[in-house]
Amino acid sequence: MKILVFYSGGKDSQASLIWAVKKYGVDMCEAVFCDTSWENPATYEHITETTNLLGVKLITLKSVKYDGMIDLARKKKRFPSPKARFCTEELKAKPAIDYVLLQTENVIVIEGIRKSESFSRSLMTAQCTYFKYYFEPLSNGKTHTYRKKEIIAWCKLYNADKIRPVFNWSSQQTIDYIRDNGQKPNLLYYDGFKRVGCFPCIMSGHSTTKRIAENYPEQWQKLKDAEVELSTSFFPPTYIPRWAATARSKNGKVYCTAEDVQKYLRDKSLTRDLFGDDTPSCMSAYGLCE
């Protein structure tokens, strides 16, 4: 039996990793990180430091087809979007499935998902089988198809359960659990971020994007350079008002660049209406200020 803990460097997966090591023992556990090549350097450091602290083996996976987010966008000729999140499928889900299929023993997959994060996640359960939707239909009546024949054959030999230990926890509970077990959460939480996944993520809101543009110029420049190379925008057309967008596609369509987004958010913040009720009294949203 092997315990595979999918570890993103965020608070929920960190709490889940600590939980798994305490429950099953460090020798049975592996921390599995799916690298999108689009994370903040602090996240890469955090993953290395925390796995070393626990003494757990770290496995880093990458897509065999795409060399990270920019290469994915290059080959798809567009960035992912909130309505087309192929980044998750290609850079995380498929490498994870590939790795599970390499196992020659029963596994338990540990996943740091909480039901309060979104409506879709609230419909999940705290425990299920890892390959559930290869055998049961989704709400649209279809099943997953990636490597389906190989998965069916693998499941005849081995078992893969999935456990979400923090499923019913609040976000604050995960932070408190990490600290109670002698670790610190990702340093990005101290800088006001509520999520620390892709940097930036296609789902990032205005306040998060503004903070990245202002405080992480190297990461922001990486995004701007990718936009120039690909002649497209990372942001959806409605991310900022049409009047604030300056770019034109070959067919005359208006779209906003990272430069447009940065200028709009900078100017908007001067009116003090950018953050609204989203600004915590402490820089951290999780009471991490000392």
Q: Is the dihedral of CA 118, 95, 158, 29 positive or negative?
A: negative
232 vs 105: CA distance, rounded Å: 45
pLDDT attached to residue 250: 75
* pTM score: 0.90
CATH 3.40.50.620 fits 2-180, yes or no: yes
123 vs 145: CA distance, rounded Å: 22
Where do the domains of the chain lie? Answer: 2-180, 204-278
pLDDT one digit per residue (tens) for the chain, 290 residues: 999 999 999 999 999 999 999 999 999 999 999 999 999 999 999 999 999 999 999 999 999 999 999 999 999 999 999 999 999 999 999 999 999 999 999 999 999 999 988 888 888 899 999 999 999 998 888 999 999 999 999 999 999 999 999 999 999 999 999 999 999 999 999 999 988 989 999 999 999 999 999 999 999 999 999 999 999 899 998 999 999 999 887 787 888 999 999 999 999 876 655 544 444 445 566 667 55
CA atoms in the 13 A half-sphere facing the CB of 160: 25
Measure the CA angle with vertex 280, ends 278 and 286; round to 5°: 110
Nearest partner of 235 among 264, 194, 192, judged by Cα: 264
The torsion region of residue 77 among left (phi > 0), alpha (psi -120 to 50) and beta comes to left
Q: What is the helix (H) or strand (E) element at residue 60, kind and residue range?
A: strand 57-61
